[in-house]
Amino acid sequence: MEVGQLKLVFKVMPFLVLGFLLSGCLPLNLLEQGPGGMFAVVLNQEGAYEPLLSGGALWLLDPDGKPQRKLLELAEEQSAGEISWAPSGEELSLTVVQVGEYGFPEEWRIVRVPLEGEPVDIVSHDYPLISPRYTQTGSAILYLAIPEEEPALYRFDFATGEEQLLADNVLAFLLSQDKVYLLDTNGAVRVLGEEDVLAEVRCPEEYCQGSLLFWPRPFLALDPTGRYFAISLQGEPGVVTPETDSVPSLYLVDLEGGEAWHLATPAGAPAFSPDGRKLAFAAGSVEKVRKAFLYDLETRDLEPLEGSEGVVLLSWGPSGLIAVVELADETYRFLRWTEEGWQELLAGGAGEGS
């Protein structure tokens, strides 16, 4: 199969609860590890974690996950997330949303937060500003904005202080080495500035496009080399009458070889290791217990990671795989996996006295 002929037809459903879509498209809050090993995450007023929340503060944590200090205080009617570390590890950026009546956003800001110094607004608009990510050199930030009806990719240059439109009709973007990979609103996957279509997807529903646009992390991942693209998608139900729900499946696409194959059902939250050798994802086991799995891209071996039961989100930092686990009482805990096993991070949260 030629690369240009690769086509996936799907409908996306979030791996997390449907309530995410009812929250007014607030930014997704994840624990993010920087190049120097420090962590950053937004915690509520009680010092506990929530994937979507208003108020609280942006916290800096040490490499063992212990709270150090607040970097940015948030008002009760503000929501923040989508943390991105600069390559230097000396600063980070995030999206801050002013929440209005009925919990819907009124103003969006991308804020630059140095570890030493005062936070600075980079851009601010009354329309969505989504997924800020530093460029490889750290001299600019890429992000999605929706000034009109269609989302577009922009670049903010720190030296000039100017916004630059890079591409129209972009549903999601992913960074790999010195390239930017785009998924446009028509379903084409390509490299920014290049015409060749590497893969094609169909995502016509507003539900699907909204999920990919506002919360790409639970659905999309790109390996550091730019070869493999992972996507969680909703398959058609096997039984039509009586009506049954379709189940999210995880697919792996070889953008260079023009192949795609199914990995697991139900599954989502893909995350590639920094060395590009493994793909982590969350999936239901035979016992229907959701846990983390590791897929070796070279050997194609699949390994369940015991002790991760209840995982809902995954990310990979310099020191290992980070799992967000939902507990029975609807609270959350962070776990870090290395070859030696799981270690809990942020144990006990961050109290007011921290």
pTM of the model: 0.88
Q: What is the CA radius of gyration of the chain?
A: 19
Q: 250: closest CA among 294, 193, 286, 196?
A: 294
Instruction: From first to last of the 354 residues of the chain, give the pLDDT tens digit.
Output: 233 333 333 333 333 433 344 345 789 999 999 999 999 999 999 999 999 888 999 999 999 999 999 999 999 999 999 999 999 999 999 999 998 877 778 899 999 999 999 999 999 999 999 999 999 999 999 999 999 888 999 999 999 999 999 999 999 999 998 899 999 988 899 999 999 999 987 765 666 677 888 888 888 999 999 999 998 877 655 555 465 566 778 889 999 988 888 898 889 999 999 999 999 999 986 566 789 999 999 999 999 999 999 999 999 999 999 999 999 888 999 999 988 889 999 876 776 444
Residues 350 and 155: their CA atoms lie apart, in Å, by 34
CA distance 259 to 199: 9
Cα 263 to Cα 129: distance, rounded to the nearest angstrom: 32
Distance in angstroms (rounded) separating the CA atoms of residues 250 and 281: 8
Tokens of 63: 């490499």
Helix residue ranges per DSSP H, the chain:
206-214
Cα–Cα distance between 167 and 177 in angstroms, integer? 19
Closest by CA position to 77, among listed 103, 52, 59, 57: 103
Single-letter amino acid, residue 42: V
